C-alpha cells in the first residue's frame, strides 16, 4: 500500500473545518493519529491504557485527551497530550489535517481527531501513570484484523467495527475514528 503525506492531506479536512461540526458529547477532547512509515509501509501509533484507570481501562486508543483550559486550541491539546502520554515531540509532527468529530456514548466526549505524519523509528517515552504500552501497527496488519464483532458492554450486546491486531482489540470510538481515516485515505 502506498500512502503519501499529500494524498492523506487531500483526503482530510483542514484543521479548522472540523471544529464547527456537530457530534454527541458535552466535553471536548482531541486525539492525534500519528502516522509513520510513509509512503511504502505506513503504520499508526496507538496507546494501550493501563488496566487500573477509572475510564477506558486497558483499551487501545490514540494519544489524546481534554483541553487543559477552555481556550486551548484542539490541535494543541492533541499534540500536548501526545507529548505527555508517549513523549512525542510536537516539532516532529507534520500536521496533515483532521477528521469530523465523533461522540462517545458512555463517557459523553466529543472527540476531534487530528492526523500527523511522524518519522519512523522514533524512541517513545510512555507516561506510566496513563499508558501501559505503545503499539506501532502497520496499516496492512490493521486492515487484516478488521471484522464486525458482537461485543457486550455494561450488559448490553451490540455489533460494531473492530480491529484485532497482534492480540489487541481496537473497538469503540478508536475503531470508529480509525475506520473513517482508513476509508478516507482509500485504504479500507
Mean pLDDT of the chain: 90
CATH assignment at residue 177: 3.90.79.10
pLDDT of residue 57: 59
Between CA 142 and CA 43 the distance in angstroms is 9
Question: In the prediction, which pLDDT does 106 show?
Answer: 74
Split at pLDDT 50, 70, 90, the class of 73 is very high
Instruction: Judge whether 150 lies within some domain.
Output: no
- Decide: pTM greater than 0.85: yes
Task: State the pLDDT at residue 155.
Answer: 77
Domain limits at 127? 5-140+169-184
Give the pLDDT band (50/70/90) at residue 51: low
pLDDT band, residue 104 (cuts 50/70/90): confident
Q: Dihedral through CA 37, CA 38, CA 43, CA 49, nearest 10?
A: 80
Per residue in 134-185, pLDDT (tens digit) is 999 999 999 999 999 887 777 777 788 999 999 999 999 999 999 999 999 9
How many structural domains compose the chain?
1
Residues 172, 59: contact at Cβ < 8 Å?
yes
Which of residues 154 and 62 earns the better pLDDT score? 62
In a domain, 158, yes or no: no
Residue 18 counted as domain residue: yes
**Residue 154 located in a structural domain:** no
Is residue 134 a part of any domain in this protein?
yes
Residue 88 lies in a domain: yes
**Position 56 in a domain:** yes
Residue 93 lies in a domain: yes
Amino acid at each position: 500500500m502506498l500512502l503519501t503525506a499529500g494524498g492523506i492531506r487531500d483526503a482530510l479536512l483542514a484543521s479548522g473545518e472540523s471544529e464547527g461540526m456537530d457530534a454527541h458529547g458535552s466535553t471536548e477532547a482531541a486525539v492525534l493519529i500519528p502516522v509513520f512509515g510513509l509512503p511504502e509501509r505506513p503504520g499508526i501509533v496507538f496507546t494501550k491504557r493501563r488496566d487500573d484507570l477509572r475510564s477506558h481501562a486497558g483499551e487501545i486508543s490514540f494519544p489524546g485527551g481534554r483541553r487543559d483550559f477552555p481556550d486551548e486550541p484542539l490541535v494543541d491539546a492533541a499534540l500536548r497530550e501526545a507529548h505527555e502520554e508517549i513523549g512525542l515531540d510536537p516539532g516532529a509532527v507534520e500536521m496533515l489535517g483532521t477528521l469530523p468529530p465523533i461522540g462517545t456514548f458512555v463517557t459523553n466526549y466529543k472527540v476531534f481527531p487530528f492526523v500527523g505524519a511522524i518519522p519512523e523509528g522514533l524512541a517513545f517515552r510512555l507516561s506510566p501513570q496513563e499508558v501501559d504500552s505503545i503499539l506501532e501497527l502497520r496499516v496492512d496488519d490493521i486492515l487484516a484484523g478488521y471484522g464486525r464483532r458482537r461485543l457486550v458492554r455494561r450488559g448490553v450486546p451490540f455489533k460494531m467495527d473492530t480491529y484485532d491486531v497482534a492480540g489487541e482489540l481496537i473497538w469503540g470510538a478508536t475503531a470508529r475514528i480509525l475506520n473513517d481515516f482508513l476509508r478516507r485515505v482509500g485504504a479500507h
